[in-house]
Amino acid sequence: MIQLIIDSFSWALLMGGAFFVLIGATGLIRLPDFYTRMHGAGITDTLGADLILLGLMLQAGFTLVTVKLFLIGAFLLITSPSSSHAIANAAFTAGLNPQVAPDDGPDGDGS
């Protein structure tokens, strides 16, 4: 019974992770601007990978494999957002400005 609960949690986490990886990949291709695409890459790297790792940890139970997966997950949690930050920062300091929407007038008609 408890095994069924753990299995279903792990399935939910794995499915969620795969879902976010797909969303991130779609965003990486379809979004218009560099910074929005970086958001897509960050979702894949951080959220997708960590959810998948959590799901795998539940599958592995209380063994050494879980500790190793946890360490990998912690490492990814620290390095993926900093690498996304590094790329976006490098682009900004090199002069690439984000694409902004045209200013609307005070009553919101768009000019």
What is the 8-class DSSP label of residue 107? T
Q: How far is the CB of 12 from another protein (least distance, A)?
A: 25
Q: Which is nearer to another protein, 9 or 37 (CB)?
A: 37
Q: How far is the CB of 86 from another protein (least distance, A)?
A: 6
Question: What is d(CA 22, CA 2) in angstroms, rounded to the nearest whole number?
Answer: 30
Single-letter residue type at 77? L
Q: Which is nearer to another protein, 5 or 71 (CB)?
A: 71
Neighbours of 45 (CB within 10 A): 19
Task: Note whether 68 and 30 are within 8 A (CB).
Answer: no
Q: How far is the CB of 46 from another protein (least distance, A)?
A: 13
The contact set with another protein (CB under 8 A) reads 75, 78-79, 82, 85-86, 89, 93-95
Q: How far is the CB of 92 from another protein (least distance, A)?
A: 9
Q: Which is nearer to another protein, 9 or 77 (CB)?
A: 77
Q: How far from each other are the two terminal CA atoms of the chain, in whole angstroms?
A: 62
Q: Which is nearer to another protein, 93 or 111 (CB)?
A: 93
Task: Note whether 45 and 29 are within 8 A (CB).
Answer: no
